[in-house]
Structure 1
Amino acid sequence: MKYFSTNDRTHTVSLQEAVIQGLAPDQGLYMPESIPVLSPSLIQRMREMSFREIGYEVIAALFSEDLSVEQIRDLVDHTLQFDAPLVQIEEHVFSLELFHGPTLAFKDFGARFCSKLMSLLLDKQQVKVLVATSGDTGSAVANGFFGVEGVEVVILYPSGKVSELQEKQFTTLGGNVTALEVDGVFDDCQRMVKEAFLDPALKGKMLLTSANSINIARWIPQCLYYFYAVSRLPEGHGKIAFSVPSGNFGNIAAGMLAERAGLPIEVFVAATNVNKVVPAYLEGHPFAPKPSIQTISNSMDVGNPSNFYRLLALYGGDEAMLRDKVKGYFYSDSQTSEAMKAVRKSTGYTMDPHGAVAYLGLKDFMASQEEPYEGIFLETAHPGKFRDVVEETLDESLDMPSRLMDFMKGEKKSIPIANDYQAFREFLLQSV
């Protein structure tokens, strides 16, 4: 399988090159040259399969040209060591809980797959993994790569704009994980990482790659839980709508990859906070990145989502088709808080702020349709990861998982750095 750049389809590379480079030289994102389509009969049989068995089938379809059967099984076994239960909270409304991994966020799936695949492809090379995070990516990647031989992880995060618990999850590990606390916003962190990939002076001295969703090794495996969720819907269900809380838009792009591979999803809801660049585009406006705005759903505080161009590529650049398949909604902090309170009161279910945004988008979409849908919204992080916001909103104490509280006991170790690429560049050069 070859992988092309979203900026130039004629630029293609191997799986190893795509994973290790992370970002194409022209700043495009890599995409598989072709997407295999699974048969309807196989998708139907997934109802009888375990999560791992589904994973073997999907990953084999995508990677069998480059990896052996044993490698594929190792990858899936390493990745899918925890469940992603589908929980019904209202009639026709289900929460897909993606927070049962080690850092209690959906990015555990992609981070574990990415670290294992890199270890298979590195062939004893030494690599620096650069990561920009608005919260959960940093914790998932830090824990997924912690102690992996031949890999040094450098995490850039915006000072004061991630929750204390998220920060503790990637600043207390030490070892091969270094956290840089940037005086800026997430988009600044992402920009600095991209500049490093394109810096010829750095390329001559070190091997750089990324474990953000711009890397196919982080992005592609997220399609697995879409297949799993559909397989767990009640038999005889109607049309399916997925609502995805969206910041950098990698998660929804992975769902669209699953749909392109044959999964019967009728529509996607791109639900965001007031950082509404993509919802505005879906309403017919030009794609116009803007400075991000801080909200209580901070993992979605992204004003220039990198994966937007993957959305277009998945539909062959057809903007009309993309706008028909994906519906955009955005919500204020007050609307998010009200949804958290209302659902807690009516159903007893506790949502984190990101899941609440996705729930609102799903409900608004379903209310606009004449025919019934089975709606699935993604609950991407445990509410405890946003404890202060959730407890203040609900006016009650959360029962915190012990593994979350264990992170809080660690000592924060981070290096303050200016919102300036030259400062980041100097740090990388000094670390050689």
Structure 2
Amino acid sequence: MKYFSTRNKNKFCTFKEAVLNGLADDGGLFLPEFIPTFQKSYLNSLPNLSLQEISYHTASLFIEEEIPSYKLKEIIEKSIYFDAPVVSLSEQYKILELFHGPTLAFKDFGAQFMARVMEYFVHQGDKELIILVATSGDTGSAVANGFYNVDGIKVFILYPSGKVSNIQEKQLTTLDKNITALEIEGTFDDCQRLVKQAFVDEDLKTKLNLSSANSINIARLIPQSFYYINAVKNFLNDKIVVSVPSGNLGNLTAGLFAKKMGVPINKFIAATNSNCVFTDYLSSGSFSPRNSILTYSNAMDVGNPSNLERIQYLYNFNVEQMKIDISSFSYDDGNTLEAIKEVFEKFNYIIDPHGAVGYLGLKKYFKSINSKDEIGIVAETAHSAKFIDIVEKAINQKIEIPKRLKDALDKEKKSIKLDNEFSTLKNFLLSK
């Protein structure tokens, strides 16, 4: 399988090159030369397969011979060692729980898999790899955990000062060793801009072996398709709608990969918060990035989503074609609090702010089509305890904090503060 840039479909590279480079030389994002499709017989066999078996088969289609099968199986065993169960709230509403990994967020799937893949590729050479990653919350902790103590790889995590939750900050600033947290003055969009600038800076590219662990990296997206395939295996004869809390659009893109592989997902809902640039794009047909604003669902606080470029390419830049597969609705913090309360009172389920936005999107979709025939699955992207203040405020009672989060809260924060000028970041990286 070859990979190409969204900005130059005639220039191909290997999976290894796509993963280790993160971003193409021209600033584009890597996509496979085609989306592989499952045979009908394989789709019919899904109910008998485990998440690990589905993950291995799916990954092998995207990677082919670049990683030997025995090694790929080992990578899957080491990275996809936690489950992604579908919990039923009612006959029509289901929850895809993506918070059973080490940092209690869906990004564990991508970060764990990518870390093992990069470790394999780096150990084939002799040059240290520098990972740059921007985070609005959960990405940082997932990447820090995935790459912690991996030989030959250094990780620098850029996060916006004062704009991630206390628990999220502790998870990404308390590991040390090969992980360095950079506390950036500004927003997530500033962090993401700095990472992108670093990748196209000739001086840095010459002197450092740079890669990214954001969802701009194809090795983050591929494993996120695994859980969509696994989620629908017991609903193959139903009309399935999946609601995805959406910010940088990586999780949605991974779901679209699964759909284009032949997985029977009828529709995706891109549920956004007040940073509703994608909702507006589908509505108007023109994309207008803007500064992100802080919300309760902070992992979705993105005003210029990177993965839009991939989605546009998958649909030949045809918004009308996108709208056949994707609907999008946006909600503010007041709506989010109400939804957390509603899900708790109606279904006795504690949902996090991101999942709450996903629930609202699904609810609105069902109301708009007036259908009882479809089954809706909400991607619950993080454990509610990661947003304890917001959730407790909504449901008006205390919730239990998992031990691994308590342990993180007890540790000492270690971060380096930088302004949001690229020259500052560049000089810092060259000094390391």
Cα distance in 2, alignment partners of residues 227 and 115 from structure 1: 22
2:431 matches 1:430: yes
What is the one-letter code of the residue matched to 1:317?
Answer: F
Match in the other structure for 1:232: 234
Match in the other structure for 1:352: 352
Match in the other structure for 2:342: 342
Q: CA deviation at 1:91?
A: 2.2
Cα distance in 1, alignment partners of residues 205 and 91 from structure 2: 54
Match in the other structure for 2:18: 18
Q: CA deviation at 1:172?
A: 0.5
- Residue-pair matches, total: 429
What is the one-letter code of the residue matched to 1:379?
Answer: E
What is the one-letter code of the residue matched to 1:385?
Answer: K
Cα distance in 1, alignment partners of residues 205 and 384 from structure 2: 40
2:273 matches 1:273: yes
* Secondary structure of 2:198 counterpart: helix
Match in the other structure for 2:386: 385
Q: CA deviation at 1:184?
A: 0.1
What is the one-letter code of the residue matched to 2:228?
Answer: Y
Query: Which structure 2 residues correspond to residues 139-154 of structure 1 after superposition, within 5 A?
Result: 139-154=141-156
Q: CA deviation at 1:25?
A: 1.0
8 Å contact from structure 2 (residues 285, 319) kept in 1: no
2:78 matches 1:78: yes
Query: Which structure 2 residues correspond to residues 17-166 of structure 1 after superposition, within 5 A?
Result: 17-122=17-122, 123=124, 124-166=126-168
8 Å contact from structure 1 (residues 151, 176) kept in 2: yes
2:165 matches 1:174: no
Output one character per residue of 1:38-61: Cα deviation in whole Å (capped at 9) or x when no partner.
012211211011111111221122
Cα distance in 2, alignment partners of residues 253 and 288 from structure 1: 19
Following superposition, which runs of at least 4 residues in structure 1 exceed 6 angstroms of deviation? none
Cα distance in 2, alignment partners of residues 417 and 378 from structure 1: 34
Structure 2: which 5+ runs fail to align?
none
8 Å contact from structure 2 (residues 59, 222) kept in 1: no
Q: CA deviation at 1:370?
A: 4.1
What is the one-letter code of the residue matched to 1:158?
Answer: P
Cα distance in 2, alignment partners of residues 275 and 33 from structure 1: 31
Structure 1, 159-168 or 55-64: larger mean CA deviation = 55-64
Q: CA deviation at 1:11?
A: 2.1
Structure 1: which 5+ runs fail to align?
none
Cα distance in 2, alignment partners of residues 177 and 354 from structure 1: 27
Match in the other structure for 2:422: 421
Output one character per residue of 1:243-272: Cα deviation in whole Å (capped at 9) or x when no partner.
000110000000000111110111110001
Cα distance in 1, alignment partners of residues 184 and 55 from structure 2: 37
8 Å contact from structure 1 (residues 186, 302) kept in 2: yes
Cα distance in 2, alignment partners of residues 319 and 297 from structure 1: 26
Q: CA deviation at 1:387?
A: 0.9
Query: Which structure 2 residues correspond to residues 180-195 of structure 1 after superposition, within 5 A?
Result: 180-195=182-197
Output one character per residue of 1:65-111: Cα deviation in whole Å (capped at 9) or x when no partner.
32211122112112210111100112211000000000000000000
What TM-score comes out, normalization by structure 1 length? 0.98
* Secondary structure of 1:375 counterpart: strand
Match in the other structure for 1:206: 208
What TM-score comes out, normalization by structure 2 length? 0.98
Output one character per residue of 1:195-233: Cα deviation in whole Å (capped at 9) or x when no partner.
011111111211000000000011111000000000133
Output one character per residue of 1:360-385: Cα deviation in whole Å (capped at 9) or x when no partner.
00111111114421100100000011
* Secondary structure of 2:232 counterpart: helix
Cα distance in 2, alignment partners of residues 133 and 8 from structure 1: 27
What is the one-letter code of the residue matched to 1:159?
Answer: S
2:225 matches 1:220: no
Cα distance in 2, alignment partners of residues 340 and 83 from structure 1: 24
Cα distance in 1, alignment partners of residues 4 and 53 from structure 2: 29
8 Å contact from structure 2 (residues 173, 413) kept in 1: yes
Output one character per residue of 1:164-202: Cα deviation in whole Å (capped at 9) or x when no partner.
000000100000000010110000000000001111111
Q: CA deviation at 1:391?
A: 1.1
Cα distance in 1, alignment partners of residues 61 and 313 from structure 2: 20
* Secondary structure of 1:204 counterpart: helix
Q: CA deviation at 1:314?
A: 1.8
8 Å contact from structure 1 (residues 260, 314) kept in 2: no
2:396 matches 1:399: no
Cα distance in 2, alignment partners of residues 34 and 293 from structure 1: 36
Cα distance in 1, alignment partners of residues 271 and 77 from structure 2: 31
Cα distance in 1, alignment partners of residues 137 and 383 from structure 2: 13
Match in the other structure for 1:9: 9
8 Å contact from structure 1 (residues 75, 113) kept in 2: yes
Match in the other structure for 2:323: 323
Output one character per residue of 1:103-147: Cα deviation in whole Å (capped at 9) or x when no partner.
000000000100010011122320110000000000000000000
Q: In percent, how many aligned pairs have the same letter?
A: 48
Match in the other structure for 1:376: 377
Match in the other structure for 2:288: 288
Match in the other structure for 2:199: 197
8 Å contact from structure 1 (residues 86, 232) kept in 2: no
* Secondary structure of 1:165 counterpart: helix
What is the one-letter code of the residue matched to 1:29?
Answer: L
Cα distance in 2, alignment partners of residues 370 and 388 from structure 1: 35
What is the one-letter code of the residue matched to 1:230?
Answer: V
* Secondary structure of 2:66 counterpart: coil
Cα distance in 2, alignment partners of residues 127 and 273 from structure 1: 35
Cα distance in 1, alignment partners of residues 127 and 221 from structure 2: 22
